[in-house]
Structure formats: structure tokens, C-alpha cells
């Protein structure tokens, strides 16, 4: 069903956005030093760039679909291992030093949007493989032939991806804005650790469920 495709896309968009890296640190910094609107405009810029990169990843994924189907077991385990590694990396990162180092200057919402859009695209070589892994993890469906159905299939997945990414940035900037008077940079360390644990657990679940499916069921 169409809503299932959108939901899967939202899961990929949410999972791809939940990390607290340099991009997230800049959005949080702008929310704290300027306004929630500034942080949200920056987040939407990131979401738009991520969706553009997800389109490229989706095309590559569709081209390799037959190969991926042939080695589905290997891919699921590999994706799980990579996600666990990403979770550990996020857990060990310390965004406090980045927040203290960054200084938000005066800019309007359009400049906030454009600057984060460009900054995200500049890191495309790191982001596309990351999105690609989540495509495999959440069983995103593609077709190798170009048709109206394949275009609609891709559009629904990417629409969900964008919705999931925007949802994350809206929730994050709103939460920080609400507690901005109580928010301290060290709190980001705990957000990083929680995000790392969640993503690592997701990868571990993928690995374990795959082995159970093969050797138990």
C-alpha cells in the first residue's frame, strides 16, 4: 500500500537525520543563539539536501537491485554491522567542543536555509553511503525498469524520506527552544549517547533477526 511506502521512507529519513554531527550542531547552535525559526530553517535546508542525495542513492540502489536480491542475507548482515559501527561512532563523539567552537552570526532565514543546504551537499560522499545502508535495512523496494509505477514508487519513498527528516528537525529545534533557558552544551553529549545506543540497537536487531530467520525458523 502507498502509506507503507511512505512510512518506510520516513523511517529512512528519520534514521538518517537523527545523528548529532557537525550539521546538527550548527542547527542546534542557531536555535540557541538566534531562534527556533532559524534552527528550523537550517534543518529544512539539511532535509532538502538529504532528500536530493537520497534520490541519487535510490537510483543507485535500483540499478543494483537484482544483485542485492541475490545476496540479500549478506547485505542484511553487512548493513547491520555498519549501523552498529555508526552507532558506536556517534556514541563516542563529543559535540560539546563543536558547540563551543561555533558562533552563529547574523543572517536571515533564507541564508540559514541555503548555508545548511550547501554544507550538507558538500558532505555528500559521507551521506550517500549512510542513506544507502538504511535503504537496505528497511527493505526499500525499487524497480530496474523506468515506468510510471517505478517513478511513483520512488516518489512515495522520497516523499516519506523528506517528511521523516523534517519531522526530526522540527521536533529537535522545538524541544531545544522550549528548554533553551535550561539547555546546556553537555546535554548534547547525552543526546549523542542515546542516539548512538538506539542506532546501534537497530543494527544489532537486524543482525540477530537475520540469523534467527536463517537458523531457527
C-alpha cell, 168: 526530526
For cell 532535509, what's the residue? 47
Distance between CA 82 and CA 74 in Å, rounded?
A: 12
Task: Give CA separation, 133 vs 4, 20, 77, 139, in Å.
Answer: 19, 18, 11, 10
The CA distances from residue 189 to 37, 90, 186, in Å, are 24, 10, 5
Give the pLDDT of residue 65: 63
Question: What does the alpha-carbon distance between residue 121 and residue 80 come to, in Å, rounded to a whole number?
Answer: 25
Alpha helices in the chain (DSSP H): 2-17, 22-33, 36-63, 65-70, 72-92, 95-101, 109-122, 124-137, 148-178, 185-215
pLDDT tens for 10-60 read 887 887 787 656 677 778 777 877 788 888 999 999 999 888 888 877 777
Structure confidence by residue, pLDDT tens digits, 137-150: 555 555 554 456 66
Question: With b meaning 16 or more CB within 10 Å and e meaning fewer, what string describes 110-135?
Answer: eebbebbbebbbeeeeebbebbbbbb
pLDDT digits (tens, 9 = 90+) for 35-49: 888 889 999 999 998
The pLDDT, as a whole number, for residue 66 is 63
pLDDT along the chain (217 residues), means of 10: 78 76 75 83 90 80 64 72 77 65 62 86 68 60 56 80 91 83 70 77 79 73
Q: Please tell me the predicted confidence (pLDDT) of residue 185.
A: 63
Amino acid at each position: 500500500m502507498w502509506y507503507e511506502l511512505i512510512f518506510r521512507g520516513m523511517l529512512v529519513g528519520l534514521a538518517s537525520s537523527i545523528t548529532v554531527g557537525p550539521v546538527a550542531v550548527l542547527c542546534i547552535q542557531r536555535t540557541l543563539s538566534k531562534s527556533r525559526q532559524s534552527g528550523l530553517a537550517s534543518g529544512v535546508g539539511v532535509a532538502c539536501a538529504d532528500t536530493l542525495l537520497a534520490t541519487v542513492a535510490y537510483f543507485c540502489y535500483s540499478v543494483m537491485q537484482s544483485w542485492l536480491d541475490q545476496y540479500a542475507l549478506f547485505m542484511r548482515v553487512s548493513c547491520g554491522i555498519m549501523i552498529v559501527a555508526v552507532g558506536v561512532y556517534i556514541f563516542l563523539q563529543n559535540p560539546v567542543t563543536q558547540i563551543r567552537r561555533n558562533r552563529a552570526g547574523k543572517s536571515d532565514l533564507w541564508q540559514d536555509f541555503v548555508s545548511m543546504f550547501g554544507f550538507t551537499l558538500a558532505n555528500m560522499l559521507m551521506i550517500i553511503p549512510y542513506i544507502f545502508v538504511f535503504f537496505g535495512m528497511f527493505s526499500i523496494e525499487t524497480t530496474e525498469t523506468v515506468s510510471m509505477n517505478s517513478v511513483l514508487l520512488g516518489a512515495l519513498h522520497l516523499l516519506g524520506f523528506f517528511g521523516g527528516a523534517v519531522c526530526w528537525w522540527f521536533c529537535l529545534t522545538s524541544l531545544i527552544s522550549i528548554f533553551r533557558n535550561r539547555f546546556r552544551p553537555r546535554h548534547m553529549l547525552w543526546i549523542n549517547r542515546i542516539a548512538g545506543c538506539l542506532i546501534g540497537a537497530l543494527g544489532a536487531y537486524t543482525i540477530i533477526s537475520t540469523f534467527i530467520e536463517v537458523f531457527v525458523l
